[in-house]
Chain A
Amino acid sequence: MFRNLLLLILLCVFTGCGYNEFGELSAPARDDLPMNIELKELRAHYKGEPVTINAPLVIGGYVTANDRSDNFYRTIIIQDVDDVSEPTHGAVELRIGLYSLYHLFPEGRYVAVRAEGLTLSDYNGILQLGLEPAESGSTLPGYFGYRAVMDQYVVPGTSSCVVEPIVFEHVGNFSETMCGCLVRITSVRLAADTSVTWGIESGWNNKPQTAYRIFIDRSGTSFAVVTSGYADFAGETVPREEVSITGILSYGRTDTGREMYMIKMRDIRDVIR
């Protein structure tokens, strides 16, 4: 009997291999898709109205803004850096149309885009790439909307570089060619006397609304900080003291109809006291 027990033990010796172990992920098999045109040259292809790119352009840049705080909705912004990793004035918004993009496109991740067949347009000075507009007459490129579609054009890379903001002291130094870029303006104050929050969590129709908070720089020039009511920091109070603001630059019309430069923050950490 004891010999048989030994045989039973033998059974246990031949344990199965790990059928479902994960372990460490190996290094990626492929290099990043190289660009054949710099992002800052993309603006030359836009002539004032939506245009379909017919050339096999491949652009690339590093993610500077995503939907992590829900201030950017279903889109990401990528910006190029030069050889010494200094930010350039090349940036574009990609109209992805999916949710929770910040996992796939964290800040700093390299993203390449096969632009052929895509529509290039502009909104508040920011270049946008996407599918053809969903409605006729619209200037907004359509969202990719589906992962399978996005994968045809957008190729997440393996390299990364945290893009530093271009620093300004005066609004007057902004230019429209910088729209879409990550900027920081220092020493600015809220123009309003009353206490306000960054966004409107519950507006006139009980729904979240976008708010435009006017700030002034030391020279007294105004600009707006635009925040969606859905942003996770929308309910936080705007500081009254002098701060620095980082975000994506654009130029457009506020809710009161004034045209001015606007900055959209990525999250509450973009306010530096």
Chain B
Amino acid sequence: MKKTILLVFAVLAGQSLCGQNNEYDYYLKNDVVQQGFLFGLNSEPELFYFPPEGSADLFTRMSTYNFSAVRYARRGYDYFGDGAVLNGIDLSDELDGYPDYSLLSGLRRAKLPSIRLVGTDVADMGNSVLGETEEFVADATSFAPGHTVSVYGTNRRQRFGLKVSSAGTWARHWSYAVSGIRRWGRDATVQGVFTDETALSLMVSRSLGLNHRLTFYALGTANERGMRSSATREAFDLTGDIYYNPSWGYFDGEVRNSRVSKEFQPLFLASYNGKVRDKTELEVSAAYRFGKSGYSSLAWYDAQTPYPDYYRNMPSYADNPTAATLITELWERRDPVATQVNWTELCRMNAMSSDGSAYILEDRMEDIRRFQIVATARTRFDRRTEAVYGLRFKTSRTRFYKEMKDLLSGAPVSDIDCYLIDDEMFGDKLANDVRHPDRRIDVGDRFGYDYRMRSDRYEAFASLRYTDRRFRFAASVNASQSTLRRQGYYEKELFPGNRSFGNSKRLSFETYAVKVAAGYSFSPIHNINLSLQSGRTAPEYGNLFLSPNYTNETIAEPKTVGQTAADLDYVLTLNPMKCKIALFYARTTDATEVYRYYDDLFSVYSDMMLSDISKRYYGLEAALQYDLSSRLSLSAIASWGRYTYDSDPTVSIVEDASGEIRVTNAKSYLKGYRCSTSPGRAVSAELEYNAYGWIASLTYSYMADRYVSATPLRRMERAYNLAASPEGFTEFVSQERLEDASVVDLFLLRSFSVGRSRMTLLFSVNNLLNRKFIYGGYEQMRIMRRGSGTSQQWTPFDSKYLYGYGRSYYVSVSCKF
């Protein structure tokens, strides 16, 4: 009978599979910036409706989901301010420093228990991040036995999903927890956005006697997702569609997206956990992750850009009134020939070309091989004092390359640098790899660039905790030594010899983090805690190389990034109320960032290096939970913060092709500008009713003090001195503030028994009132010149934005038996 029910679920869900291609269906640094930008936009309700078990921090639980309608990072730290750990395995990417979104997503969907540590909380592993650290535990014995089948439907990023999970014991001493998830479908609001994902999580634990356990865990997620691209206000206004997505177009009447990400990078983990001495437990974990991820992009050879919203295609650029009117009409009536990628024409042009495709679809790939081993010991000296200490080794090999995805009805192309074709100086140095010249690139071939980043990291950590009735003390220290090196497999004609081929200089960093925390309970009602942190972290690899895709060239003086932080919080527990107020402060120093962009003043592709970047984050967080009755409770959180640049970074600009230093020791006057990572003010209040198998909640969230991400270029004298008037100057230097945003969310859950099974029905609506607001935005690194001679004028390019989702729903039916 159970099997029949499950099969019916699966078949009914499967019926919805095909037909998703119907065009009448509702039809996602700068790439690194875009990916981080979209991190929050990709968040999905089911990840957050069941808060990680064990998380006692109300602010954490509410803020992560309730503020995800806009670009949000707790305390303003960018996405690389967060960390994640699985059985001691540090899940942060060694190159970027931040945890992989899809890996985290997979772990949360598999419902692995986790706790979240905030800011300066002392973690056993001595983590050094400023933001949140999510610590997952893979232990099959911690899953409640039983089987669950869930089916869900939504209109956001996909349409349907099916999840099957099972946990229990099997034979003697074996426990298991497995789950499989399948989700698919096109976004109902944003055309071109879709999800096609299969995830499997397999966990097995074996008890070895009373105090020892072995756990094996495998998590694999294969996904393909159509992405959304940001656009200018002009494009949104002309189309009348705040969800306008320039990345897609029609191919033979079908919606096809130029920006599609795909990934399959499974993780395998083995953990031993056991009591090795009377008071000491040992955990040894080893993990291996491998696989590929990539995202597609259009490229073109000596041809006009295929992107419809290129600035020269917009009516604002047309200085001919007739042309401007004509273009405006096309956009206003949303003629896809003007507003979307014209795949059909691209393919026809390619088919007519005698020299290979002019337009191609390429995949920018990352092929990872990562191994990590960590040994952690926990010694309980007495019931008040314990120490945790350990060693970790991480090694990572990441291969970056381009792969031909589709020739779009054309013939193979030569492996040449498409950016140099018309270059007056370097137009004769086009070969991407002189060691394999004159290659014709067909579908599946590598081309463009091919290099590997190798990094190794040795780490030691220790923490000590003392807890008695009133007083708590904890301290941790983490020290590591990491190395990084690029190895080029292509010898680029523009950068011959070791400039592109072979090994780069070996970069080495010594980092550390020291945390100290103390707390005092005046009574069971009043508690205060103070935490302090200081340390240095390694920079991201993208900020260490001028142009890592093509050269071994590193920045002049690579430095570690300094971090200091302090937290002071007060907790009041007075039934029926619990309240926490926290003051926080953090400062980062000596950071470096590298931007690759087209410099309109020099009219060349350039690399801009910013050094001595400091940022400051301070503010207040408050959380309140009040039980109005045994069934009704009120929860509220609020944050106020200022997240700003705290220095005027030093700027150097290097011409990308020649390596000529065009600007040195200039300044970008960024001090005081807001970091755009998070609203400065945010409030959320939730009223929840919980009784008799019903949970109903209504949440109101308000987010304000939001800013567009400022570009360093416009705060340089060479840029703002171009302004012809005070108004023009303001246009260059002012930082746009985004409108305040507010959402109302509704959540309903009904759980009841059917025989020996438990059914749960869930229904939620986000942004119930369908409010429209910008999710986030960024300034472009471009400056436009209009006119010539004495009538020449320079103005910054328009910023680009993404709008937050309007009303979206999520419905699920679960059966646990």
Contact = CB atoms under 8 A, between A and B. Distances in A.
A and B pair up = yes
Interface of A: 1, 3-5, 7-8, 10-12, 14-20, 22-26, 28, 98-100, 103-104, 106, 109, 131, 145-149, 151-152, 160
Nearest to A147: B313
A5 B10 CA distance: 14
B152 interface: no
Given A19-B186, A148-B326, A25 B318 contact: no
Nearest to B324: A146
In this complex, which of A5, A145, A146, A160 has the most chain B Cβ atoms within 10 angstroms of its Cβ? Answer: A146
Given A11-B180, A16-B196, A17-B18, A25 B347 contact: yes
Q: Which 8 A-B pairs have the closest CB atoms?
A: A16-B196, A8-B180, A16-B184, A14-B14, A4-B166, A103-B349, A11-B182, A103-B358
A22 B409 CA distance: 9
Interface string B306-342: 0000000100001010110011001000000110000
Contacts of A152: 326
A151 B338 CA distance: 10
Contacts of B181: 11
Given A148-B330, A148-B338, A104 B198 contact: no
A26 B252 contact: yes
A14 B17 contact: yes
Contact of A4 (B147, B302, B349): B147
B252 A25 contact: yes
B226 A20 contact: yes
A25 B196 CA distance: 24
A23 B407 CA distance: 10
Nearest to A144: B323
Given A1-B166, A4-B178, A146 B351 contact: no
A4 B170 contact: no
B13 interface: yes
Contact of B303 (A15, A25, A103, A106): A103
**Majority SS of interface residues in chain B?**
mixed
A25 B342 CA distance: 13
Contacts of B630: none
A12 B181 CA distance: 9
Contacts, number: 129
Contacts of B406: 22
Contacts of B19: 17
A20 B224 contact: yes
B343 interface: yes
A145 B302 CA distance: 18
A149 B302 contact: no
In this complex, which of A4, A20, A106, A160 has the most chain B Cβ atoms within 10 angstroms of its Cβ? Answer: A20
**Majority SS of interface residues in chain A?**
loop
Given A12-B198, A19-B224, A104-B349, A7 B6 contact: yes
A106 B184 CA distance: 41
B619 interface: no
Given A1-B176, A25-B351, A17 B164 contact: no
B769 to A, nearest CB: 31
B170 A1 contact: yes
A116 B185 CA distance: 47
A106 B353 contact: yes
Chain B, interface size category, equals: 35 or more
B352 interface: yes
B198 A15 contact: yes
B323 A99 contact: no
9 contacts: A8-B180, A16-B224, A20-B257, A20-B260, A24-B409, A100-B302, A100-B303, A106-B354, A149-B326
B200 interface: yes
Nearest to B344: A25
A148 B327 contact: yes
B603 interface: no
Contacts of B18: 17
Contacts of A151: 337
Contacts of A25: 251-252, 344, 347-348, 351, 409
Contacts of A17: 17-21
A4 to B, nearest CB: 4
Contacts of A109: 352
Given A16-B196, A25-B351, A26-B252, A11 B3 contact: no
Contact of A8 (B178, B330, B353): B178
A174 to B, nearest CB: 30
A146 B3 contact: no
Contacts of B224: 16, 19-20
Contacts of B182: 11-12, 14
A147 to B, nearest CB: 7
A19 B20 contact: yes
Nearest to A19: B194
Nearest to B6: A7
Interface in B213-230: 224, 226
A106 B406 CA distance: 22
B348 A146 contact: no
Contacts of A100: 302-304, 358
B413 interface: no
A27 to B, nearest CB: 10
Contacts of A145: 318, 320, 323
A19 B196 contact: yes
B9 to A, nearest CB: 9
Contact of A99 (B20, B194, B304): B304
B162 interface: yes
A22 B162 contact: no
A3 B3 contact: yes
Contacts of A26: 252
Contacts of B176: 1
A237 B344 CA distance: 41
Contacts of B337: 151
Contacts of A15: 17, 196, 198
Given A99-B304, A145-B320, A11 B178 contact: no
A158 to B, nearest CB: 8
Contacts of B352: 103, 106, 109, 160
Contacts of A20: 194, 224, 226, 256-257, 260
In this complex, which of A18, A22, A28 has the most chain B Cβ atoms within 10 angstroms of its Cβ? Answer: A22
Contacts of B185: 16
B198 A146 contact: no
Nearest to B196: A16
B488 to A, nearest CB: 30
B10 A7 contact: yes
Contacts of A28: 348
Contacts of B166: 1, 4
A19 B197 CA distance: 12
Contacts of B252: 23, 25-26
A145 B327 CA distance: 12
A148 B322 CA distance: 11
Contacts of B198: 11-12, 15
A131 B326 CA distance: 14
Nearest to A98: B304
Contacts of B21: 17-19
Contacts of A146: 313, 318, 320, 323, 326-327
Contacts of A131: 322
B682 interface: no
B106 interface: no
A230 to B, nearest CB: 9
Given A7-B164, A12-B198, A19-B194, 13 more contacts: A7-B6, A7-B149, A16-B20, A17-B17, A19-B196, A19-B226, A25-B409, A98-B304, A99-B304, A106-B352, A147-B313, A148-B327, A149-B326
A11 B162 contact: yes
Contacts of A99: 304
A34 to B, nearest CB: 20
Contacts of B302: 100
B304 A8 contact: no
Interface string B390-401: 000000000000
A22 B408 contact: yes
